[in-house]
Amino acid sequence: MATDDSSPHASLREAHPIERAVGMAYYVSDADGIGGRLRESPEDFHVRELEAFEPESLDADRGSYPELVVRVTLRNWDTNDFARRISDALGISRERVSWAGTKDKRAVTTQLFTLREVGPADLPAIRGAEIEPLGRAGRGLSFGDLAGNAFEIRVSDAVDGAPERVADVVDDLRAFAGGGLREIDSTDADDGNPVLTDATVGVPNYFGQQRFGSRRPVTHVVGLAIARNDPREAVRLYAGNPAETEPDDTQAARHRVDDAFGVDDASETAAGGGPEVGGPGDTSADGTGDGDWAACLDAIPGKLRFERSMVHRLADRGTDPNAPRDHEDWWHALEAVPSNLQRLFVNAAQSFLFNRILSERLRRGLPFDRPVAGDVVCFADGDAPTELYAPDTDRLQRVDDDRVSVVTRHCERGRAFVTAPLVGTETELGGGEPGDVEQAVLDAAGIEPTDFDLPDEFESSGTRRAISLRTDLGVAFEDGDPRFSFALPSGSYATVLLREFLKSGPLDL
């Protein structure tokens, strides 16, 4: 972002370069990390969904309640793969299987599924899955039923002295949440391992690296190009634009696509580059692109099926590589990918801008746990499970000078949360310095809210999101390795909390 990086808070610790490329510029804890790795085995990463969904009893009338509700614990299963497996085993359409949230594969996950027109006696035995019938429901689960997730996560191969480092980070995160220093129990009476008592901690509610891609974080730059009405560059960034972390054949294919566009490698900003990625720039064709889309298709391996789909449309139409940037052929190529990926491009751009707003707020020393004049706050979700500090962004209030002290008390009690925009066509920026921060980030990116008035799936009206991620954290140690337990509302990332403790880069998360 093209703002002055001289921070009034010299203690801010700079984030990993891959994180800075997606807007996460800083850590809030200056304490040294514990290193280590996540997910050495699936048992190291336990996730239990917290749903706002109450089924009827199992003997409820199937005519009124056609959905069987089951609790499923999966080991090393991708959610979508399991849905296909259970639908095949039951001999039913995949559309008759529903769930609230998609989980990572390398983990032990517990969540609800609904199975339409299925009885308890029909349930199959599936390796790596424990399936327990709970009751019946009148409708299938949807994403809106997911309130949050409870985590138990072990970090393996932590450095010597990890308990002391963890305690130092907890101090920093507790202060960031607006609290004092935590209390610590030196040992666990049963096994002599050190433990920390529960502490309320906070971190910036960044969108985690998973939102953008860890090895090739490119979705947000594609989305920014779309918002700038430059579908040509969006296609080029997605199908071309090689990253050094990719296999050789993939890099070679993307270089071939760049050649077709006439992009000089020397002027290229590769995916996963430095912290300025996403600012307005010009990697325009130099007029020498050969537009040989057939040669690109020969070079692109089958595993890059979405890239192939885009380029195939260019080949079918014989698109001139120097056609105007907003020519309909470029939009036609972009729309070759599934609608959910089209939305993801724009959502990732919004997420990047949100991350940059949080980083700039940190740089300026503005608080996250309480408002200043000009902030927009939301109130707590009164229907959320008790484990969660859950914001309800449908209930917003702008904070003027006269209301700062009152709203601060609400924030201290977990009843309100400061927000920032996920920018869209209906976005109204904050006032005062928070509004200055938001405008500065948009100016640096060359984006205005009206830019999200886009065709079809690319359009977005925007919303707001809490800027602080708050949770009650417990930590225990097993043979020197910490096990963290906490709960987060849906849409927030466990890795955003854990990065403060590891400080070892997103590829280890």
Q: For residue range 58-101, what is the model confidence (pLDDT) as tens digits?
A: 999 999 999 999 999 999 999 999 999 999 999 999 999 999 99
Question: Residue 450: phi, psi to the nearest 5?
Answer: -65, -15
User: b/e string for 382-411 if b means 16 or more Cβ within 10 A?
Assistant: eebeebbbbbbbeeebebeeebeeebbebb
- The answer to whether the Cα torsion of 297, 300, 305, 308 is positive or negative is negative
pLDDT over 80 (residue 283): no
Higher-pLDDT residue of 479 and 73 is 73
436 contact partners, CB below 8 Å, separation of at least 6: none
The average pLDDT across 342-369 equals 97
Higher-pLDDT residue of 354 and 9 is 354
Helix ranges, 287-429 (H): 293-299, 305-317, 328-334, 339-364, 404-412
* Cβ–Cβ under 8 Å, residues 231 and 334: yes
Q: What is the pLDDT at residue 268?
A: 47
Residue 265: which pLDDT band, with cuts at 50, 70 and 90? low
- The answer to whether the Cα torsion of 216, 217, 223, 224 is positive or negative is negative
CB atoms within 10 A of CB 456: 10
Residue 195: which pLDDT band, with cuts at 50, 70 and 90? low
The average pLDDT across 404-428 equals 96
Q: What is the pLDDT at residue 180?
A: 56
Residue 140: which pLDDT band, with cuts at 50, 70 and 90? very high
Q: What is the pLDDT at residue 271?
A: 43
The average pLDDT across 427-448 equals 97
Residue 274: which pLDDT band, with cuts at 50, 70 and 90? very low
pLDDT over 50 (residue 363): yes
Residue numbers annotated as active site: 104
* Cβ–Cβ under 8 Å, residues 218 and 238: yes
Give the model confidence (pLDDT) of 7-65 as tens digits: 445 579 999 999 999 999 999 999 999 999 999 999 999 999 998 899 999 999 999 99
Question: What is the amino acid identity at position 59?
Answer: D
Residue 257: which pLDDT band, with cuts at 50, 70 and 90? very high
pLDDT over 60 (residue 196): yes
The average pLDDT across 370-380 equals 97
The average pLDDT across 448-459 equals 96
Residue from 474, 458, 439 nearest 360 by CA: 439
pLDDT over 70 (residue 284): no
Distances (CA, A) of 420 to 212, 274, 281, 425, 430: 19, 24, 25, 15, 8
Of the CA atoms within 13 Å of residue 115, those in its CB half-sphere come to: 29
Residue that the structure tokens 């990253």 belong to: 243
178 contact partners, CB below 8 Å, separation of at least 6: 202, 369, 370, 411, 412
The Cα 166–Cα 174 span in angstroms is: 12
pTM: 0.91
pLDDT over 50 (residue 481): yes
pLDDT over 80 (residue 186): no
Q: What is the pLDDT at residue 198?
A: 77
The average pLDDT across 377-390 equals 92
Q: Could you tell me what percent of the chain has a pLDDT over 70? A: 90
Q: Which domains does the chain have, with CATH numbers?
A: 31-38+155-205+469-508 (no CATH), 43-149 (3.30.70.3160), 215-341 (1.10.1510.30), 348-468 (3.30.2350.20)
CB atoms within 10 A of CB 341: 15
Residue from 157, 144, 31 nearest 482 by CA: 157
348 contact partners, CB below 8 Å, separation of at least 6: 211, 212, 219, 220, 222, 223
Residue from 129, 118, 48 nearest 90 by CA: 118
